Every structure is written in C-alpha cells, then in structure tokens.
Structure 1
Amino acid sequence: MEEFSDKACTMAKGGKKGGGAKGKKVTLKMAKNAVRLTTDGRRRLDLSNMGIATFPKCLLKLPDLNELDLSRNQLKKLPDFIGDLASLCWLDLHSNQLEAIPETLSQLVALSHLNLSNNRLTSTGLPSSLGNLARLRSLNLGMNRLDTLPPTMVGLCSLQELGLFDNLFSSLPEFIKVLPSIIRLNTKRNPLSYAQGDSGATRGEGGLEEGVYLAKEGSLCGSCLESCKEERRWMLGGRRDREGDAEGRGGSYSGLITPNSVAQANQEQWR
C-alpha cells in the first residue's frame, strides 16, 4: 500500500532541472518525444514544471497515453476535451492555479489516481460527476479551499486513499464513513473540532493524526480494539487545539516539490 502523508513536501529551490520558460507551448513533436514507457508497460508523459499556462490540445493525438503529469505549472482551467483522453489512469495536476474541475473529467473511467492538491479549488468547483470515477483508488485534494465535498462521491467504491489536508473543513463529509474501500485518510490542518462516527478522524492537541486508518471493529483483536477506544477517549478529552484559526488557508505554493507525481515507484513517499 502506498504511503499517504504530507511529510514529503518541500519548497522548491530553483525549480526542476531543464524547466521551461513561463507560458511555454507544448507541440505534438515535443510531447511524443517526451513519452516514456514505465516498468509496467504504461505510456507516461511528464510535462511538470514547464511554465505551461494552457492545457496542450495536441495531447488529443496521443490517445494511448496512460499517465500524465502536468504538475507545478500555471494552469488556471482544464478544457472540456480532457474527457477525451480515455486511456488515462494516472493524472497529476498538483501545484497549479485551478479553481474548478470540468464535468467531463468523469469520462476518464479508467482513472485510478488523481492528484489535485495545492490548487485554488473551492467546493463549488468540484463537479457532482466526480462520483462517477468508480475505479479511482487515490484522490488528493489537499491544500485547496474546500469546506465540503459532492455527496455523489459516495459512489467512489474503489477509493482507498483520500487527502483532504490543509483545507477548510469544519466537519468530515458523512459519506466517508460508508466508502467501502477507504483505508487511509489525511485531514490534517483543517478547522475540525470533533470526531465523526467511527472514522477515527479525531481532532487532538496536534491536529488530526496523519494517516488515519479506517477499520471495522470486528476486524480488530480485543486488545487492539481497547487500545483504539482508549486513544479516542484521550483525544476527545477536551484538549486545546494549537493549530490556530484556519481563516485564509488555501494559498498555493507554486514551487512545491513532492514525489507525488505519477511515477509509481515514488508513491510510497507521496503526500
């Protein structure tokens, strides 16, 4: 199982080696030359940290593209035609300037990993169709301006990992408790003040615990269950939160570097 935490992020110092100038235009020839074959046979295109301000339309001529990294660019909008990249199973858009996601993203039915962290997304910018991504296993929405999620996300039956850290949630969406495959949740640095149900997402002195695991009581041995209950009682004991007010959160970090791209070999470190 991939590590799902936010310890891996560091601020960029000088940017990626070979990064392009601002507003760089990607041609079909450039894109074709940059496609690489991964160890598991996927076709991957890394266009991260190139100063790209407009989603490259030429990618439509690469219909067999499986992994696309457009992180650390200057994208403010995703085009509706993104839904035509039907072979995508990994999509990394972290550290851009996105405020909304188009409904057509739900057409990427093969998508298993989606990273939208460190953007400018608000809750109104998340389409209800996001819940149609039935194969999605990992979704990173950290470092945005979200305070709620579309209830249709209850349809994410394959979702195992969900990143909601550094947002504006005052309570966790109820549907998270009934997602059948969820095993890891990161909700650190939100203005949460109480636990919800059996999710274990509890606000303590240092904020929500990183990498919260969700498990049914029946799957735990007696001593483990009692230990979990004791820790929950302790965390709910009225300790003061020292995180401070969350007002003003959601600012992006344009130079953010994390190993949170589509390269599967690095996923054990990703945010």
Structure 2
Amino acid sequence: MPKKKGGAQGKKITLKMAKNSMKITVDGKRRLDLSNMGIANFPKCILKLTDIEEIDLSRNLIKKIPDFINRFPKLRYLDFHTNKIERIPETICQLELLYYLDLSNNKLTTDGLPAELTQLKNLRVLNLGLNSVEMLPTTIGTLKELKELGLFDNRITYMPEKITKLPKLKHLNVLRNPFTTPQIDVEPIDTIDRIENLYLARRHMLCRPCLKKCQRERDKWSKVKNISDLEEEPDFTGLISPNSVAKQDEASWRVSN
C-alpha cells in the first residue's frame, strides 16, 4: 500500500511547491514561506534556491535543522518558531548576513546552543523563548548588534551581566524564568509587544479534543507567575495544527537591517 502524503513523515515539499511559496518582501527580498504546512523534515529541494534571503519554516513538525543550512549564504531572516528542534547546528553560525533568528517554542536545551553563536556578528533579533534552556552561553554577550533578545519561559536561573550590558540591546524578555538571585538590569516586564502573541492556538484550526487540551493548559498557566511554581510544565504537544497568531502584516514589526 502506498504511503499517504503527510502523516507521521510530514508533508513532502517539492521544488515546484517551494517556488510557488516564494514571495517578495516590502523591502525587495526573496522570501520562502513554508510555515504551518505539516513539514517534518527540512525540504532538501530548496537547496536549488540558495539565493533566497529569508526562510519561514515556523509552525511545523521539524526536529532538526540540517548542517547544510550554511548553503544559503544570503540568508538574513530565519524563522523556525513552533517546531520540535532540539539543537542548533554549528553551521548556522556561518550565515554572516543573518540578522533575525527565531527558534522559540521548540525543545532547545543549553546543550543545544553552540558556542559559535558569537560568529553571527550582524544578528539583531534572537528569540529563544519557550524552550528548556537552563544556562545561556556567555558568547551571546559578544553579539554587539543585538537589539532584541527573547528568553521568556525557559529554566534560566542566572543572567550573565555581559548579556544584559550589550550596547544596542533595547528589548529583553526574560519573563517566567526561575531566577534564584536578584537580576541587575533585567527588565521585569516584556517590551517586545508581539513576542507573547506568537504562540496562541487559533480555535478554528484545532479539532475539538485539541482545543479542550489547549484551554486546560492555558487556564493552568494563567494562574502562575513563575514557571517554577508549576508542578509540571505546560503541555501543548500533540495539537493537530500547531500555529500562532503572528501579525499578518509582517512589515509592521520586522527589524530593518
């Protein structure tokens, strides 16, 4: 019996589908939008599109970013939020033009963060929120161009001062981390307006059992102020259609290069 498309193996993306998903951004960049398509594996076919400057693979089922991600030398914008990624490959740090990297709502731990992040000299926005990171690599403190850093909903107990003192850092979100000591110069509130709204499930895109599960977890989460107060972590896994309510007009919040 032939395998069905999609399912446990995820949706198969062809080169034709990828080309049809290409867009031109408001600032004239070539953007590949494969978000929310049930993709389980990074589509190798897009290696034929190595001149693209932006890739959006958010809200999928991807577990691994391939080592060949460095074969997209013009990449400026890379969005993998809401997947199942456990590790950032060292090769991603070879993308010298990258200014936006969103890896929030994945399964990253401290071991999954390479020390080579220091090579991303042009990085303006780094979002690692909604993961399981316990300790930050101090190398993040060398990213002198960094303007926004999302670290909310992790397991971080200490913030290195080198990171909080980054010269251009304007927005730092560290909400709901179990800090064990008072943190100096760490903003107590979120200043990245859009960051908290990226991971709410749209009701009309969920089946009834998934909607009930999401509502239960939301109600439990809303009663606590610190992730360490929970007996267990909030569980949004197993939803039929992982998604977000990211703003439709991306131009209103994209950081200019």
Shorter-chain TM-score above 0.5: yes
The one of 61, 64, 79 aligned to 1:74: 61
Unpaired runs of 5+ residues, structure 1, are 1-19, 202-207, 213-240
Q: Report 1 or 2 for greater relative contact order, CA contacts < 8 Å, sequence distance ≥ 6.
A: 1
The residue number in structure 1 matching 2:190 is 210
The amino acid across from 1:155 in the alignment is: T
d(CA) in 2 for partners of 1:171 and 1:260?
A: 32
d(CA) in 2 for partners of 1:146 and 1:247?
A: 18
The 4+ residue runs of structure 1 with deviation greater than 4 A are 250-254
| Percent identity between the two aligned chains | 48
SS in structure 2 of the partner of residue 61 of structure 1: helix
| 1:265 aligned onto 2:245 | no
The one of 95, 108, 111 aligned to 1:124: 111
d(CA) in 2 for partners of 1:80 and 1:250?
A: 31
d(CA) in 2 for partners of 1:151 and 1:25?
A: 38
Over 3 Å counting, the alpha-carbon distance change for 1:124 and 1:185 in structure 2 is: same
The one of 229, 246, 253 aligned to 1:245: 229
Over 3 Å counting, the alpha-carbon distance change for 1:119 and 1:260 in structure 2 is: farther
Over 3 Å counting, the alpha-carbon distance change for 1:127 and 1:200 in structure 2 is: closer
The residue number in structure 2 matching 1:58 is 45
The amino acid across from 1:70 in the alignment is: L
d(CA) in 2 for partners of 1:46 and 1:247?
A: 38
Q: 1:247 Cα deviation (Å)?
A: 6.1
Greater shift after overlay, 111-120 or 246-255?
A: 246-255
Q: 1:131 Cα deviation (Å)?
A: 1.5
d(CA) in 2 for partners of 1:247 and 1:124?
A: 24
Over 3 Å counting, the alpha-carbon distance change for 1:242 and 1:178 in structure 2 is: closer
The one of 163, 166, 173 aligned to 2:160: 173
Q: 1:32 Cα deviation (Å)?
A: 1.2
Larger radius of gyration: 1
Unpaired runs of 5+ residues, structure 2, are 193-223
d(CA) in 2 for partners of 1:106 and 1:250?
A: 31
The residue number in structure 1 matching 2:217 is none
Over 3 Å counting, the alpha-carbon distance change for 1:256 and 1:24 in structure 2 is: closer
SS in structure 1 of the partner of residue 229 of structure 2: coil
d(CA) in 2 for partners of 1:112 and 1:140?
A: 12
Q: What's the TM-score once normalised by structure 2's chain length?
A: 0.76
The residue number in structure 2 matching 1:188 is 175
| Alignment deviations for residues 19-60 of structure 1 (CA, whole Å, 9 cap, x no partner) | x94411111111112111112100011101111111011111
d(CA) in 1 for partners of 2:166 and 2:90?
A: 22
The amino acid across from 1:245 in the alignment is: D
d(CA) in 2 for partners of 1:44 and 1:242?
A: 37
Greater shift after overlay, 173-182 or 184-193?
A: 173-182
In the alignment, is the contact (CA less than 8 A) between 1:142 and 1:165 conserved in 2?
yes
d(CA) in 2 for partners of 1:242 and 1:34?
A: 40
The residue number in structure 1 matching 2:211 is none
- Give the CA RMSD over aligned residues: 2.3
The residue number in structure 2 matching 1:12 is none
| Alignment deviations for residues 192-222 of structure 1 (CA, whole Å, 9 cap, x no partner) | 244333x143xxxxxx32228xxxxxxxxxx
